Amino acid sequence: MAKRVLLVNKFYYPRGGDCVVVLNTEALLRENGVEAQVFAMEYPQNLPAHYQDNFASKVTFGGGMSNQWRALQRTLGRGDVRECFEAVLDDFKPDVVHLHNIHSYLSPVVGELAHKRGIRVVWTLHDYKLLCPRYDCLLGGQPCEKCFNGAKHNVLTHKCMKGSLPASGVAWLEALKWNRRTLVKNTDMFICPSQFMADKMIAGGFPADKVTVLNNFLDPVKLKQYQSIDPSQPREDYYCFVGRLSPEKGVADLLEVAATLPHRLKVAGSGTLEPSLRIKYAGNENIEFLGMLDAPDVARLLAGARFSIVPSQWYENNPLSVVESLCAGTPVAGSNMGGIPELIDSTCGIVFQPFDKETLRTAITMSMVRDWDHAAIARQAIARFNPGAHIGVLTDDIYRL
């Protein structure tokens, strides 16, 4: 009889990186003989799912007081999420419940319910929510670890959630309800996609024997795209940024430096900073905004670039922007933040200091003129991030099926 794994995530469509990982993991498990199903929150964009009629009802923190009250109750693990999840457990009878991004819209109550039944519970962490009520460890645009030692009141003191005391109050209550002791009790293994995150979890008081590292993998469709690229083909005279145009990504500093250099920069992505950046650099012939690109276009962009740049100013985990660039044989100039430097060595990129425009400028100049071994970069990255390297560790060492 095939082993059964229930994947749990807030949404069930490619909304963001966490959702993409869930969809890829579901497909990978099924391809390898594991029966995988999904539990999520009702949402109009969700893909069809076997247990969609048992999904928890949609909640939202917007709208009137009644909506906000229901959302607060959900955050604390109350409401229909218990009944809905129990129904799926009763019918599917999973061997493993694999949690992903569950806070607020589902809540860690799902792990608690599974644990009480003796089901193995593992949790892939896509952000720092278990350490930081705000998720991203940022305060005033700078890295912050004030809440790591359990002093969650800082989220109130600094109004970390959107500058709002009520929103920060909800995050504080959530952190008190789902505190470290409760989460550790109900979870058999926390999966960190980077060693950096694992180290922070352990420093934050989570037991080392319940923390493991497993990098994200490249889904088979994208993998085929990158395997079809000839990494030794001539590179064009540009470098590129692929990602969200928002403050924590360091894109404002990148463009300020790029505007003073004679090298062409292609910017792919959108975000809150896009309108202002487009206006500010409209007259600069060396900066080109491409907007959002689909996966094949991203692959082509990376395959033609001299290098890609990841100037993040927050604790990146295991960014796919770096993984995909390397799989295209394209070196990466990345900031020394979070899990980025774990993915880069002297053979495949350059690491520079975040918030330091001079080291950023130097990294761009050096990356542009260096003679890289693109074929070796692609070969090593594809070996590291292919699904085959991922599935055995997941099913044998983490799921213990």
- Which tens digits make up the pLDDT trace of 34-81? 999 999 999 999 999 999 999 999 999 877 788 888 888 999 999 999
Cα(64)–Cα(67) distance, integer angstroms: 6
Q: Average pLDDT for residues 187-212, to the nearest whole number?
A: 97
Q: Which residues of 345-374 are buried (b: 16+ CB within 10 A; e: fewer)?
A: eeebbbbbebeeeebbbbbbeebbeeebeb
pLDDT at 71: 86
pLDDT at 1: 59
Q: Find residue 288's DSSP bridge partners.
A: 266
- Which tens digits make up the pLDDT trace of 382-397? 999 999 989 999 999 9
Cα(318)–Cα(224) distance, integer angstroms: 21
Report whether pLDDT(343) > 80: yes
Report whether pLDDT(2) > 80: no
pLDDT at 197: 97
- Which tens digits make up the pLDDT trace of 113-157? 999 999 999 999 999 999 999 999 999 999 999 999 888 999 999
Q: pTM for the full model?
A: 0.93
Give me the domains of the chain, ranges plus CATH numbers.
4-217+386-398 (3.40.50.2000), 220-385 (3.40.50.2000)
Cα(227)–Cα(295) distance, integer angstroms: 14
Q: What is the DSSP letter of 113?
A: H
Q: Average pLDDT for residues 169-179, to the nearest whole number?
A: 93
How would you classify residue 189: left for phi > 0, otherwise alpha for psi between -120 and 50, otherwise beta? Answer: beta
Q: How many CA atoms within 13 Å lie on the side-chain side of 344?
A: 28
Report whether pLDDT(355) > 70: yes
Give, for 308, the enclosing helix (H) or strand (E): strand 308-310
pLDDT at 389: 87
- Which tens digits make up the pLDDT trace of 240-268? 999 999 999 999 999 999 999 999 999 99
